[in-house]
Structure formats: C-alpha cells, structure tokens
Amino acid sequence: MARHSHWAQIKLKKGATDKKRGKIFTKHAHLIETAVRKAGGDPGMNASLRLAIDNARADNMPRENIDRAIKKGLGTAKGAEQMQEVTYEGFAPGGVALLIETLTDNKNRTNQAVRNVMQKNGGNMGAMGSTSFLFDVKGMINVKAKGNRDDDEMEIIDAGAQDLQEIDGGFLIYTAPNELGAVRKKLEGGGFKIESAELTKIPKNLVDVNDPAIAKKILNLMELLEEEDDVLSVAANFDIPEGLLE
C-alpha cells in the first residue's frame, strides 16, 4: 500500500466531534453486538469482542453500556432485537467507490435511509459486487509516537506491521487481519500508546480527486452516511490532495 486514502485521517480529526455528540457509544455498542453474534460473549475466546471492548473502554464507554451491548448480542437483554449485518455498495461523486457497512434490526428502514442520503447528495447505489472487489480487509492501529520517528518505525515493522502511515502525533499501522491482536499486543509491550485498533477496508487503488467542488461533495456524503444510526463504517477509495482537505 504505497498510497493511502485520506478518509482514515479525516475520521481521526473529526473523532472529537463524534464523541461530543455521544454517537461514538452507539457505534461501539453495535460493534460489540456484532462480535458477540459472530463468536459468543466471552472476550477470552472471542478476539473480535475483546478488541471491540478495548476500543469502547478507550473512549470511556461505561461498563454498564458494554455489558448491555453484550447481552443484546446474546439475545438475552429484555426486548433485544435480532440484529443483522448488511453491506451496501455504491459510488460517490467523481466515480469514487463506497462500501457502507451497517448493523440493523430493520433492513427496510436502513435500506431507505442509506438510499436517501446517497440520492440527495450525489451518490449512486451499486449492485452487489460492484465495489467490494476494490477493497482489502486489513487491521488498522492508531498509535501515538513514542520517540525518534525512525526508531519508532523500526519497532513498528518489527512488531509485524505490513505498512504504516505517519499522521499528526503518531502513526496509522496496517496489519494482516488475523494478526491485528498480536501486533497490538507487541506494540503495547513496547510502550506504544494505542489510540484505536480495528478491522477496516483499505482500497486497492485510489481515485485522484482534484476538483474542489467534487471533493466537498464526497466528504459531505461520507460524513452524512456515517451519521446514520445504523451505519457502522464507510470505506472509500478517494485520494484528495492535502491542500484541498485544508
């Protein structure tokens, strides 16, 4: 991955706003529920659940909220709904590919909500398989820099990272999906502060966007999609120059 999409960095910068709105707790709860539904409610036996709980705690999610999400995933909470994962594919302005991952108890509601946002903001829904082949699943870890940049990079590579990207105050580290937990553990053992760790979709190739108007439309669409309650994450393959982002 010699080139990187800017969306991960943009999400990090707007993360503080998400936390102020309280939406981050809802997303953590969804991720915990999903992990429980896939592999059970024991963090010791379910690496995805352990990761989701660690990330929730890093954002100061209360223990009772975490426990409630686990119970909902198990279907033991009072009034718990049957949740299901649905992925939508489509295109943003400029031909940028999108993968929209959701968790919902009402597919019709979620489908309509996603379609409305896309249609009203220059996007187009795509058929199944129209964009998913353009992305790879990777582990992504956001860490704070520890010391000298070159020394940090060597430690990160030695920990098993496949690639890394320097960001303000630290690094975004990419791993094989099945090595995310092991790399995170090695980095923590080496004294790095982990800001977040997750499985994410990384574009295989990027679409260059140099038109300011198109760039604004893409970013607006991405933010509106991520604000939808049922949306877990949105992946895109745009590459917008830093000058336009600023």
Mention every residue, 6+ apart, whose C-beta is less than 8 A from residue 64.
none
Mean pLDDT of the chain: 86
- The secondary structure element, H or E, covering residue 3 is none
Model pTM score: 0.79
Q: Look at the alpha carbons of 140, 145, 148, 152 in this order and tell me if their dihedral is positive or negative.
A: negative
**Structure tokens given for 154:** 């060597």
Residue-wise pLDDT tens digits, 10-45 = 666 555 445 555 677 888 888 898 889 888 999 989
Nearest to 234 by CA among 2, 3, 8: 8
Predicted confidence (pLDDT) at residue 2 exceeds the cutoff of 50 = no
**Structure tokens given for 52:** 């989701």
Residues 45-48: contacts with CB within 8 Å, 24+ apart?
A: 47/181, 48/199
Most trustworthy range by pLDDT among 74-78, 151-155, 226-230: 151-155
Q: Mean pLDDT across the stretch 118-145?
A: 95
What pLDDT shows up at residue 229?
Answer: 84
Predicted confidence (pLDDT) at residue 128 exceeds the cutoff of 70 = yes
Least confident window among 26-30, 104-108, 114-118, 122-126? 26-30
DSSP assignment of 158-206 equals: HTT-SEEEEETTEEEEEE-GGGHHHHHHHHHHTTPPEEEEEEEEEESS-
